[in-house]
Amino acid sequence: MVAAKSNIKTYKAFQTEVESSNRIALSVDCVIFGFDENKLKVLLIRSDLKKYEGKWSLLGDLVLPDEGLDEAAYRILKQRTGLSDVFLEQVHTFGEIGRHPVNRVVTVAYCSLINVQHHKLKILDNELHWHDVDSISDMAFDHKIIFDTSLSQLQKRVREHPLGFSLLPNKFSLRELQNLYEAILNVKLDRRNFRKKFFSMDFLIDLDEVETDVPHRPGKLYRFDYVKYEKSAKNWNGIAF
């Protein structure tokens, strides 16, 4: 790095270095989590690349020269699934030299949670569909590593913020909510303590409705009070299970 020690880099010197750095391509990969049948799911497609034919892959693509990273992530999610109107959050950037078999590609991983029932997939190319997270073994590229990292982050974030609700229907029972937390965190929780904790937070609105078509006593339905949550300065003290 010749220019590293110069006091002021000229535009020209910088351009020369940029050309060298330009040999690195940039992509985004989306790890989309959902929740259905009491299991945590992830959206995968069959790999684009011949070398990984048959393997499953995250929803990814190259970043365009004139779009921001977040923008790229939303575009790719929309292109691959037809969906918009979800939160995407950056997880980590992966840039090992050999991670892509053809080119040097650095990828920024994004993570999202969507409600499987609510957001029906509109595009199903490349065999896009939901996979149980615990059925995932090998994947294309280093996507298994990216997936594992994203899942760990999800587990961490779901303890700190009320993200889980975006995975549930608008109306949900406490049992569904608990199932969700148990699935994401991969733990068993005490029902009474779980209820106590959520009721004490006071962000659940009792809808005075109950489940139907269950072969047992129906549970009451609730929705999450996003308005109150926003107003209370994000006063979510975290979940310590």
Partner DNA sequence: GCAAAAGTGTTGGAAATACACCCATGT
Partner DNA sequence: ACATGGGTGTATTTCCAACACTTTTGC
Binding site for DNA (CB under 7 A): 173-175, 190-193, 195-197, 210, 212, 214-220, 240-241
**At its nearest, how many Å lie between a second copy and the CB of residue 184?**
19
Within 120-139, the residues that bind a second copy by CB under 8 A are 123, 125-126
Q: Is residue 82 classed as helix, strand or coil in its secondary structure?
A: coil
Beta bridge partners of 59: 30
**Residue whose CB is less far from DNA, 9 or 191:** 191
DSSP secondary structure letters along 214-238: -SSPPPEEEEE-HHHHHHTTT----
Instruction: Find the shortest distance in angstroms from Cβ 87 to DNA.
Output: 26
142: helix, coil or strand?
coil
CA distance 101 to 47: 13
Choose which of 2, 21, 85, 208 interacts with a second copy (CB under 8 A).
Answer: 21
- 157 in Cβ contact with 201 (< 8 Å): no
Quick check: helix, strand or coil at residue 85? Answer: coil
Q: Closer to a second copy at the Cβ: 103 or 235?
A: 103
Residues found near a second copy in the complex (CB under 8 A): 1, 3-11, 14-15, 17-18, 20-27, 46, 48-50, 53, 61-70, 79-80, 90, 92-97, 102-106, 108, 123, 125-126
